[in-house]
């Protein structure tokens, strides 16, 4: 009877810890699968911050002929000791309305860190570059911790190529830019004759606090599993002691 009671109690404890683990680790797992990790901050000069899905909506409505404008997007890696490689794609237009196909008529120039990386229609496809091709995204390079870079998009709609008929209906277009950051490693720049770190430094590095979401997830997982094993071990020891303990003798009733 006692053996069945202890087995039932251990089963309940194990189920409770497993449920706690799943609830604790689920949010971290979602973040680890996002296109932009929390350490990569991307936003434009209008105050729009790109969320962790990496999607940036380009929405142009009722633009006048001859109009020129630009948008600056700042990209920062604020995550300590974690470099990322950033890429960018442009979707096919998700909405085109009006007489003109603005995805073809609006000319766009992308300037990254002072260098022109694309020039052509808003659609992202010209004679030599196809930014809609997911297998060949535009590489924005590697971001070390603390790196800040800027992507500038310049737009223009020709003011001489159209008549009033082209603007009888309001012309609108939408497409989405996709940013994706992947954790990477930097080349080893350590000199061959550089001495190894001391034992004390190695111990400090080994027991430092986690920095990334993945490291926190692993730390929580190992901690919970370790506590669970210790608890089970203590219960087993206690149960063994109770089994070895001789039963108390009943005293004879005095007449």
Residues 27 and 62 in one domain: no
User: Which positions ≥6 away from 189 have C-beta within 8 Å?
Assistant: none
Residues 169 and 96 in one domain: yes
Look up residue 192 and give its DSSP letter: T
In a domain, 195, yes or no: no
In a domain, 251, yes or no: no
What does the mean pLDDT of the chain come to? 80
User: Which positions ≥6 away from 204 have C-beta within 8 Å?
Assistant: none
Residues 219 and 108 in one domain: no
Residues 82 and 123 in one domain: yes
- Residues above pLDDT 90, as percent of the chain: 50
In a domain, 192, yes or no: no
Residues 71 and 134 in one domain: yes
Residue 215 burial by CB count (10 A; 0-12/13-18/19+): exposed, middle or buried?
middle
Residues 7 and 55 in one domain: no
In a domain, 252, yes or no: no
In a domain, 249, yes or no: no
Residues 55 and 140 in one domain: yes
Determine how many CB atoms are found less than 10 A away from the CB of residue 22: 10
Number of domains into which the chain is organized? 2
**Helix, strand or coil for residue 79?**
coil
pLDDT value at 186 more than 60: yes
CA–CA dist 137, 123 (Å, integer):
14
Residues 128 and 49 in one domain: yes
Main-chain dihedrals φ then ψ at residue 167, nearest 5 degrees: -120, 20
Residues 57 and 179 in one domain: yes
Q: pLDDT band at residue 226, thresholds of 50, 70 and 90?
A: confident
Q: Per residue in 159-177, pLDDT tens?
A: 888 887 888 889 999 999 9
Range of the domain at 179: 40-183
Give me the pLDDT at residue 93, please.
95
In a domain, 219, yes or no: yes
CA–CA dist 27, 54 (Å, integer):
18
CA–CA dist 152, 73 (Å, integer):
6
Residue 63's nearest CA partner among 156, 179, 187 is 156
Residues 71 and 23 in one domain: no
Q: Which residue has the tokens 């007449």?
A: 255
pLDDT value at 23 more than 90: no
CA–CA dist 108, 116 (Å, integer):
11
In a domain, 197, yes or no: no
Give me the pLDDT at residue 115, please.
96
Residues 134 and 14 in one domain: no
Q: pLDDT band at residue 9, thresholds of 50, 70 and 90?
A: low
Q: What is the pTM of this model?
A: 0.62
Give me the pLDDT at residue 208, please.
58
Give me the pLDDT at residue 248, please.
58
Residues 128 and 46 in one domain: yes
Give me the pLDDT at residue 11, please.
53
Give me the pLDDT at residue 108, please.
97
User: Which positions ≥6 away from 134 have C-beta within 8 Å?
Assistant: 89
């Amino acid at each position: 009877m006692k053996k069945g009671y202890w087995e039932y109690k251990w089963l309940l404890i194990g189920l409770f810890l497993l449920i706690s683990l799943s609830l604790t680790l689920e949010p971290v797992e979602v973040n680890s699968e996002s296109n932009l990790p929390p350490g990569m901050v991307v936003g434009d000069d209008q105050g729009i911050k790109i969320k962790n899905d990496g999607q940036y909506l380009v929405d142009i409505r009722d633009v006048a002929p001859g109009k020129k404008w630009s948008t600056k997007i700042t990209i920062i890696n604020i995550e300590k000791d974690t470099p990322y490689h950033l890429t960018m794609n442009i979707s096919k237009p998700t909405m085109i309305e009006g007489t003109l196909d603005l995805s073809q008529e609006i000319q766009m120039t992308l300037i990254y860190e002072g260098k022109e990386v694309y020039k052509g229609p808003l659609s992202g496809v010209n004679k030599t570059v196809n930014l809609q091709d997911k297998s060949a995204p535009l590489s924005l390079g590697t971001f070390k911790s603390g790196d800040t870079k800027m992507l500038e998009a310049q737009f223009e709609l020709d003011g001489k190529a159209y008549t009033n008929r082209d603007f009888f209906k309001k012309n609108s277009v939408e497409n989405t830019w996709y940013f994706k950051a992947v954790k990477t490693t930097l080349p080893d720049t350590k000199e061959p004759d550089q001495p190894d770190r001391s034992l004390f430094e190695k111990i400090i590095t080994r027991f430092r606090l986690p920095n990334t979401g993945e490291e926190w997830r692993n730390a929580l997982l190992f901690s919970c599993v370790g506590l669970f094993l210790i608890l089970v071990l203590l219960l087993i020891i206690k149960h063994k002691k109770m089994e070895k303990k001789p039963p108390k003798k009943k005293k004879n009733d005095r007449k």
